[in-house]
Every structure is written in structure tokens, then in C-alpha cells.
């Protein structure tokens, strides 16, 4: 497993692994379903636009199978960064994402002037909650029925991790 920059050579594997309703169901609507080549090209261009790098491809067995990002916030939230991630369904339960989050957190704290990294899984995404907890994130808040996804209201949880 390797975290690295996205390249246009990743387009086929990105579309192959991201075009999955089960993945899209656990993310914001900015992660579309179906996942198209055009969407993939736009995403890769966006991922390449940050300096320092914020969004990484998750490479497994030589193929980009997911993504993870550390997104520094602005204004009064400037000492915080949001963690976002997804992984191909074929690798769910493999332990890869736990390692990816650990690496991304280390990178975030050493690269950006932040004191806290947070993630916002949906209340129904128990796997994501467990992975965050394995990586030392603590549940900070639960907002009931504030996310509207797939025609229904969903809870939003906020997990945070403070810089050691």
C-alpha cells in the first residue's frame, strides 16, 4: 500500500473503483454515482492543483484503488483540517484504510499548521467510525438528521484527533 500523487494514468482505475454506489452512498454528493471518465479527469486535475499536496491516491498492487485527503480549513477554523477518504469495495476489511489514515494524519500534522484533524462520517457508516476510532479519533459530536442523502435524512458524526 502506498499513498502518492494522482496522475492522469490513474483515470481507468479511478473510474473502475469509484463507480460504486456503496461508496458514493457514504460520501457527499460531490462524489458522484455513476462515476464517469469526465468526473475522474476533473478530480485528478483538482487533486494535482494543491501545493503542498492534500489529496493522495491509495495504490494497492500497482493500482489506484482509493483516495485520501487532508483539507486545511480557513478563517477562524485555520488550525483544523478535514480528513476525507474512500477505498474500493474489493479492499474493504483488509486493514489498508487504517494504515492510510495513520499515514495521512502524520503527513497532515507535519505539513500543515494545524492542531486538529476531523472527519465527518454518516451515522450509518459504522465501518468508517471504527476505522477512525482505531486511529485514535474521538467522537466529538452527533448531529441528528442533518444530512439529506438518497432521499432520506441521516445523522452526521464529527470525530476529531488532536496533535500530540
137-153: average pLDDT:
97
pTM for the complete prediction? 0.96
d(CA 112, CA 3): 17
pLDDT at 115: 98
Name the strands in the sheet holding 152-162, side by side, starting at the edge strand that comes first in the sequence.
2-4, 55-60, 63-72, 80-87, 116-119, 152-162, 138-149
pLDDT at 135: 98
Q: How confident is the model over 44-101, as pLDDT tens digits?
A: 999 999 999 999 999 999 999 999 999 999 999 999 999 999 999 999 999 999 999 9
Nine cell digits for residue 33:
454515482
Question: What domains can you pick out in the chain, each with its CATH number?
Answer: 2-120 (3.40.630.30)
d(CA 43, CA 45): 5
pLDDT at 29: 95
| Residues paired with 59 in a beta bridge | 2, 64
Percent of residues in the chain assigned helix, strand, coil, to nearest 5: 35, 35, 30
DSSP string, 100-158: HHHHHHHHHHHHSS-SEEEE--BTT-HHHHHHHHHTT-EEEEEEEEEEEETTEEEEEEE
Q: How confident is the model over 9-47, as pLDDT tens digits?
A: 999 999 999 999 999 999 999 999 999 999 999 999 999
Amino acid at each position: 500500500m502506498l499513498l502518492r500523487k494522482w496522475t492522469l494514468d490513474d483515470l481507468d482505475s479511478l473510474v473502475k473503483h469509484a463507480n460504486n454506489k456503496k461508496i458514493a452512498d457514504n460520501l457527499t454528493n460531490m462524489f458522484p454515482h455513476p462515476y464517469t471518465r469526465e468526473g475522474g479527469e476533473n478530480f485528478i486535475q483538482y487533486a494535482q492543483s494543491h501545493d503542498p499536496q492534500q489529496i493522495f491516491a491509495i495504490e494497492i498492487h500497482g493500482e489506484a484503488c482509493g483516495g485520501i485527503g487532508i483539507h486545511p480549513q480557513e478563517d477562524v477554523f485555520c488550525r483544523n483540517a478535514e480528513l476525507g477518504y474512500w477505498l474500493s469495495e474489493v479492499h474493504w476489511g483488509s486493514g489498508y484504510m487504517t494504515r492510510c489514515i495513520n499515514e495521512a494524519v502524520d503527513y497532515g500534522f507535519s505539513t500543515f499548521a494545524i492542531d486538529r484533524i476531523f472527519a465527518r462520517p454518516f451515522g450509518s457508516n459504522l465501518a468508517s467510525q471504527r476505522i477512525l476510532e482505531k486511529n485514535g479519533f474521538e467522537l466529538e459530536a452527533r448531529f441528528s438528521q442533518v444530512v439529506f442523502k438518497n432521499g432520506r435524512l441521516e445523522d452526521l458524526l464529527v470525530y476529531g484527533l488532536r496533535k500530540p
